[in-house]
Structure 1
Amino acid sequence: MVKILEGLRIVEGSAFVAAPLAGMTLAQMGADVIRFDRIRGGLDNGRWPVTDKGRSLFWAGLNKGKRSLAVDMTTPRGQEIVTRLICEPGEGKGIFLTNLRVRGWMDYPALKQHRPDLIMMSVTGDRSGGPQVDYTVNPAVGFPMATGPEGSAGPVGHVLPAWDCITGQQAALGILAAERHRRLTGNGQLVELALKDMALAMLGNLGIIAEVTVNNYDRPKMGNSLYGAYAQDFVCKGGGRVIVVALTQRQWDNLKAVTHTQVAFEELAVKLGVNLNLEGARFEHRHAITQVLKPFFDIRAVEEFEAAFNERSVTWARYRTFAQAVREDPDISVDNPMFSMLEHPGIGTYLTPGNPIAFSDAERIAPVRAPSLGENTDEILSGIGYSDGEIANLHDDLIVAGPR
C-alpha cells in the first residue's frame, strides 16, 4: 500500500468486481476505505473461489486494506448509521462509492440533503440502470464472436472479466477527479459509470466501431493470431507451447535472427511480392510465415531456445496454466516488490499483491489483508460519534454486528 492518498476517506457499498476493485485500488494508495455490508454478509460474501471451509478467496482478494462495518440497513437506526458515515463532515470525507441499486434514503438526492458537497460514484450495469454483468456485456458488444479458432462458429467467452476490471479502475479515477473538482470549487456531484458504456467506449477506442462503419468489415475469429501484425502459438518438441509476437520492426528482426530464418523470409517476400517489414503484410501472410517458423519449434523443446530468445529480446511467452504460472514465474514471488507473504485469518498464508503502481516519492508498503465481515464495526461507530453505551445497545438490538 502506498500512502499517497492518506487523508481521503471513501465509504463503499458494493458487490462483486468493479466497485470493490475501485475501493481497493484507492485503499492500496492510502485512502481509508470503509465497506458496509448486511449483517449476514453482502452479495459477494461467499463468492468463489472459496476454501474447503467456505471462506471466500474472492472477498479476501478484492477487499484488501479496507475496514468493514456490518449493519442492518432495513432498520431506521441502521440507515441512520450509514447516512451518518457517508455524510460525516470533514475534509477528504463525504465520498460514497457503490454499485448497489440505491433507492430512497440512500440515493444521491437524499444523501445530499445531509452533505451538499457529497461525491457519489455510482457504477451501473447499463446507462439506463439496467442489470448487466461482464458476462452479459461481453457477448452484447461482440468479442466472443471474434474469439476462438479460425473458422469455428460458436462464441467463446473470456474467463477474465475485462470490463469489470477496466470499470473498477475508471471508477477510482472518476472519484479522484471529482474530489479534485470539489477541492477547487467546493461542489460535490453524482458521478455515474455504466459497465456497458465502458465496453462500448473501448469498442470505439480500439477502432472496431470505425472498422465496421467505415470499412464495412465484421472481424472474424483468428485463433491466436494478432490482428494487424504477426503473432502465433507453436507446439514445441515435448509438448510445451509458446507464442511469439512480431508487432514492431525490432521484434520481427529479433525473431528472424534467433530462428535463423532471415534468408527464408527474404525468399518468401520475393515469392509473395510483398514487404514483410510492414506489420500489415505480416498479418495478411501470417499462415505462410508460420510455415517457415514451424520447423524451428517442431525439433526443439522450450528449454533449448528460451535462453537465446531472452538474450535476443524476442517477444515471447510460454503458455501456462494458473498453477504453472504461480509455481514457475519469478515475477509471481516475493522477488517482485508488489508481493508479500500475508496471513489471512481463517484462510492461511499466501502470496498477496499490493499496489502495482510504484511512486518515486512515496514508500511502497506491504499489502494489508481484507477485514472479516464487521471486524471494524465498533471503531467505525466510535469514529463517527457513537458512545460506548450506544454501540453496546446497537449490538444488543442486532442493528450492527462484529467482534466485541
Structure 2
Amino acid sequence: MYDLLPSLSVIEASSFVASPTAGLYLAQMGAEVIRVDQIGGGPDFRRWPVTEAHDSLYWENLNRAKKSVALDLGRPEGRELLQQLVRATGQFVTNFPASGFLAHDRLAEGYADLVTVRVMGWADGSPALDYTVNNAVGYPMLTGPGPEPVNHVLPAWDLLTGAYAAFALLAAIERRRATGVGGEIRIPLSDVAIGTVANLGGIAEVLAAGGNRPRLGNAVYGLFGRDFTTRDGQRTMIVVVTPRQWANLVAALDLGADIAAVEAARSVSFATDDGMRFTHRDALYPLFERAIAARDHADLAAVLDAGGIVHSPYRTMFDAANDPAMVADNPIFGAAENPSGLVYPAAGAFATLPQQERRAPRPAPRNGQHSEEVLTERLSLSSGDIARLVDAGIVGVG
C-alpha cells in the first residue's frame, strides 16, 4: 500500500476479475475505492477457491483495501442510491451493461464532469470471458504441440484489461483537470486481446506469411529457449536473449567444439543471431539435451547463475508459495486480517517506491461493512434515514 492517490475516490460496481482488478490497483496506490454490491454479495462473492465455510479466497484478495456498500439493486430505491453515489463521487468503474440504469449518459445528466470506465466483453456489448476471448484471438492454437487447442488457466486478458482500466481512469481524470469535461471510456476484453496480439506483431506476422506459425510446444519462438531435463530428473527452462548469455551457456556446457561443427556444416554463425539459433534448433537441441542430461540440477543451476543465464526449474504453485524469496521474505507481502478468518500472506502493491515507506496490505471488507459510513459521508443521509433503509431491506450492513 502506498499513499499516491489520497484525494481520489472511486465507486466500483463490478464482478469477476477485470473490473475488480482495476479497483484493487487503485486502492493499493491509496485511492478510496467503494465497492457497491447486492446485499449478500454479487455473482462472484462465492467464486472458487473457497474455504470450508464457502468464503471466497478469490473475492477476498481481489477486493483488498476497498470499502463495501450493500444495496438491493433489484429495487428502484437501491439502484437510485447507487446512481446518487456515482454522481456524488464523480469517478466510476464498472462492468455492468452499457445500457440500463448505469448507462453513462443517464448517470451524467447534470454531471458533465463524471468519468466512467466501463469494462466490457465484446465492443458491441455482448458478453465474453477471458477464456472465450483467448480462443477468439488464436493463442490456444499456438500453445502446446498440437493438434488440439491448449487452454491456459491464467486469465491474462482480464488482468491486462483491469490494469488498462485503472490507467484509463487516471488519464480521463487528467483530461478533466485540463478541460473540465468528463466522459465514458469503454474497454472491451476482446479489444485488449486483439490489440495486444497486434502490438506483439502477431497480426502483421500471420498476414505477411499467409498462415500461422508452427506450434512449438515449450520452445520459445525466435529465440534459443526450451525446457530440458537434468540427470536427477529436474525439468528446467533455459532461455538465451543476449550474445554474452549464449557464449556463457556454450562454455558452461563445454559445447564449443560441437557448436563450431554445426556452424561449419551449415555455413552459419550463432554468436549474435537469435533467429539463426532458432532456425537451426533441430541441430542445437540434441547437443544441449545430452549435455544437460549429464548434469544434476544443482550443479547446472550454479554454472548458469554464474554466467548470467536465465533459467528456472518447473515447480508447483505450492512450491512457489513456500519459497521464502518469493513470498515470506518478499516485501510486497504482509499480514492482514481476512474476513474468511484464514491466516496467510497478503499481497500489497507490486511496485516498490524506494523513497516511500510501504504500508501493510489491508483486508477485504465484509459485504455492507461501510454502508452507513459511505451513505452518511457521500449522500448526507441521517442515521434515521439509514435505519429506515436497512429496515426496508434496501441497504445492507455488515
User: TM-score band, normalised by the shorter chain?
Assistant: over 0.9
Contact 2:245 2:307 in 1 (8 A): no
Specify the alignment match of 1:139 in structure 2. Answer: 135
Distance in 2, matches of 1:44 and 1:170, equals 21
Q: What displacement does 1:87 show?
A: 0.8
Contact 1:148 1:223 in 2 (8 A): yes
Letter in 1 for 2:256: Q
Letter in 1 for 2:131: Y
Distance in 1, matches of 2:10 and 2:357, equals 22
Indicate which of 349, 353, 357 corresponds to 1:359.
Answer: 353
What secondary structure is seen at the aligned counterpart in 2 of 1:44?
Answer: coil
Contact 1:26 1:33 in 2 (8 A): yes
Specify the alignment match of 1:222 in structure 2. Answer: 216
Specify the alignment match of 2:397 in structure 1. Answer: 402
Specify the alignment match of 1:13 in structure 2. Answer: 13
Specify the alignment match of 1:68 in structure 2. Answer: 68
What secondary structure is seen at the aligned counterpart in 1 of 2:198?
Answer: helix
Indicate which of 105, 119, 128 corresponds to 1:109.
Answer: 105
What secondary structure is seen at the aligned counterpart in 2 of 1:43?
Answer: coil
Specify the alignment match of 2:118 in structure 1. Answer: 122
Specify the alignment match of 2:160 in structure 1. Answer: 166
Q: Percent identity?
A: 39
Instruction: Establish whether residue 305 from structure 1 lines up as the match of residue 310 from structure 2.
Output: no
Q: What displacement does 1:271 show?
A: 1.7
Contact 2:335 2:361 in 1 (8 A): no
Which deviates further from its counterpart, 19-28 or 214-223? 214-223
Distance in 2, matches of 1:373 and 1:253, equals 57
Query: What does the per-residue CA deviation read over 1:57-80, in whole Å, with 9 as the maximum and x for residues that have no partner?
Result: 100111111001110122232122
Contact 1:3 1:363 in 2 (8 A): no
- 1:251-262 correspondence runs (5 A): 251-262=245-256
Distance in 2, matches of 1:237 and 1:101, equals 55
Check 1:360–1:238 CA distance in 2 against 1; reply closer, same or farther (3 A cut): closer
Distance in 2, matches of 1:226 and 1:197, equals 25
TM-score, normalised to structure 2, is 0.96
Specify the alignment match of 1:202 in structure 2. Answer: 196
Distance in 1, matches of 2:318 and 2:72, equals 40
Contact 1:241 1:318 in 2 (8 A): yes
Indicate which of 383, 387, 395 corresponds to 1:392.
Answer: 387
What secondary structure is seen at the aligned counterpart in 1 of 2:73?
Answer: coil
What secondary structure is seen at the aligned counterpart in 2 of 1:245?
Answer: strand
Specify the alignment match of 1:35 in structure 2. Answer: 35
Distance in 2, matches of 1:107 and 1:350, equals 39
What secondary structure is seen at the aligned counterpart in 2 of 1:345?
Answer: coil
Which deviates further from its counterpart, 32-41 or 76-85? 76-85
Check 1:329–1:268 CA distance in 2 against 1; reply closer, same or farther (3 A cut): farther
Q: What displacement does 1:276 show?
A: 1.1
Which deviates further from its counterpart, 345-354 or 62-71? 345-354
Structure 1, unmatched stretches of 5+, are none
Distance in 1, matches of 2:363 and 2:214, equals 43
Query: What does the per-residue CA deviation read over 1:113-172, in whole Å, with 9 as the maximum and x for residues that have no partner?
Result: 1422100001110111111111100111111001102xx200000111111111111000
Distance in 1, matches of 2:357 and 2:240, equals 37
Specify the alignment match of 1:272 in structure 2. Answer: 266
Which deviates further from its counterpart, 393-402 or 336-345? 336-345
Specify the alignment match of 2:280 in structure 1. Answer: 285
Q: What displacement does 1:360 show?
A: 4.1
Distance in 2, matches of 1:79 and 1:115, equals 18
Q: What displacement does 1:234 show?
A: 0.8
Specify the alignment match of 1:238 in structure 2. Answer: 232
Contact 2:51 2:340 in 1 (8 A): no
Distance in 1, matches of 2:188 and 2:262, equals 48
Contact 2:320 2:326 in 1 (8 A): no
Contact 2:324 2:330 in 1 (8 A): no
Distance in 1, matches of 2:288 and 2:236, equals 12
Specify the alignment match of 2:373 in structure 1. Answer: 379
Check 1:274–1:329 CA distance in 2 against 1; reply closer, same or farther (3 A cut): farther
Structure 2, unmatched stretches of 5+, are none
What secondary structure is seen at the aligned counterpart in 2 of 1:160?
Answer: coil
What secondary structure is seen at the aligned counterpart in 2 of 1:103?
Answer: coil
Distance in 1, matches of 2:282 and 2:368, equals 57
Specify the alignment match of 1:44 in structure 2. Answer: 44
Contact 1:229 1:280 in 2 (8 A): yes
Contact 2:292 2:300 in 1 (8 A): no
TM-score, normalised to structure 1, is 0.95
Query: What does the per-residue CA deviation read over 1:344-368, in whole Å, with 9 as the maximum and x for residues that have no partner?
Result: 1323111111111123444321111
Q: What displacement does 1:236 show?
A: 1.5
Distance in 1, matches of 2:294 and 2:177, equals 64
Distance in 2, matches of 1:44 and 1:363, equals 33
